[in-house]
Amino acid sequence: MQTQLAAHFPVSRAQNQLSYMFQRGMTYLADGRWTEAEQEFSAIIAQKSSYRQNGRSAKEMLKLAQNERNARWALQQGDLQRALSCFREAGNLERTVFVEDLIQIEDFEQRAKVYFENGRFRQSAWIYDQLLRNYGDDSRIGLWKDAQTACWYEELVPIFDAGLLAFESKAWREAKKQFSEVICGDPEFRRHGQSAVVLLDQCKQEIRKEANEALDNGRLKEALNGYQEIMDMRKIGQVEELMHLQAQGEEVAKAYCDDEKWAKAAAVYEWLTTLTMGSEKQQTWQDLAVKCREKARLTYLFDKGLQAVEQKDWAEAEKRFGAAKEIDPKFQYKGHRTLRWYRISAVKQRLATLFPQ
């Protein structure tokens, strides 16, 4: 019995020693003391290679410690792929994701650099924008912002210069287009002390002046295009209303002309001339109003002349048809010609004078 106890105690002490060493190795792992953890688990394996505790083997823990140490060393050396592989082997999900992000960032930065060197500044700027959006808490955010600004500057310089050339040539709409594109890329863009925002505003003012001048001179379509260019909704509404009234007035006047209601047609054309001063159609409307007034006068004279014919008042008939002849000798009304009825009335009047009844 004593011999059995003597043999048992050394084994028990050795087992306790391994357990203590294993716990100490686990503590080193928890504290991130990878080298010390390696040493501890290596010592355990040297004594008992199959040692396990709580379902974990000393070999597994040794490999974990080695992978963690190797991963951090690789990370310090900038070898991200090796660091990623080691963290994966160690089962460290958090650090694996961290290194994957670093690799993604490195890839983005490299692509942005290549784009910039090849003059593809917009693409480079977009990549920096993705970096800022996806990794906004990274310590390099300031560098990315500066790089993005540099990209947009290089991208926008030729556009700004094209806008400036158009501006100097007073091609306001083309200049506005170019400066608008610049501001979309960088609202604070400046070059040679000139602000894209200020120049864009000046372009809009010049376009407004041209539109106002077109409106004052009745060139409504041109004015409408100008106001639409600068999105002046109030002016757009006013011009569209004028154009609607003009179209409606012309339609009504034409209908009166088709019905030979000349006085009413003339009144509508005269009203149209009052809608806008200097309208490119104003002279046309004025001429049509005069023509309709003339036809209204001719119609009135013709009616009076025909009434006189019915009453055989040849002197009155000659007077009415004569007045119509002076205005337009070729005028016809209801199939009757002015000149013919004037001659008939004149002959009848002479006969009546020569042979009074």
Read off the pLDDT of residues 165-201 as tens digits, 9 standing for 90 and up: 999 999 999 999 999 999 988 888 888 889 999 999 9
Closest CA to 348 of 325, 316, 324: 316
Q: So what's the pLDDT on residue 6? A: 44
Q: So what's the pLDDT on residue 41? A: 67
Q: So what's the pLDDT on residue 89? A: 76
Q: Are residues 110 and 195 in the same domain?
A: yes
Our count of domains for the chain comes to 3
What domain range includes position 257? 249-357
Distance (Å, whole) CA 212 – CA 219:
10
Q: So what's the pLDDT on residue 11? A: 56
Q: By CB neighbour count within 10 A (0-12 exposed, 13-18 middle, 19+ buried), where does 124 fall?
A: buried
- Which tokens is 200 given? 């864009």
Distance (Å, whole) CA 313 – CA 336:
18
CA 26 to chain centre: 61
Residue 110 inside a domain? The answer is yes
Residue 342 inside a domain? The answer is yes
Q: Are residues 261 and 354 in the same domain?
A: yes
Helix orientation angle between 196-216 and 233-258, rounded to the nearest 10 degrees? 20
Q: Please tell me the pTM assigned to this model.
A: 0.57
The DSSP-derived string for 238-285 is HHHHHHHHHHHHHHHHHHHHHTT-HHHHHHHHHHHTTTSTT-TTHHHH
Q: So what's the pLDDT on residue 290? A: 87
pLDDT lower than 70: segments of the chain = 1-12, 14, 29-30, 34, 41, 57-59, 62, 66-67, 276-280, 335-336, 339, 349, 351-357
Q: So what's the pLDDT on residue 296? A: 84
Q: So what's the pLDDT on residue 356? A: 66
Domain boundary pick from 36, 64, 91 = 91
Q: So what's the pLDDT on residue 329? A: 73
Q: So what's the pLDDT on residue 355? A: 64
Return all residues near 196 (Cβ < 8 A) that are at least 6 apart.
156, 160, 163, 179, 182, 183, 186, 189, 190
Return all residues near 119 (Cβ < 8 A) that are at least 6 apart.
154
E-strand spans in 127-257? 190-191, 194-195
Domain boundary pick from 59, 91, 123 = 91
Residue 236 inside a domain? The answer is no
Q: So what's the pLDDT on residue 357? A: 62
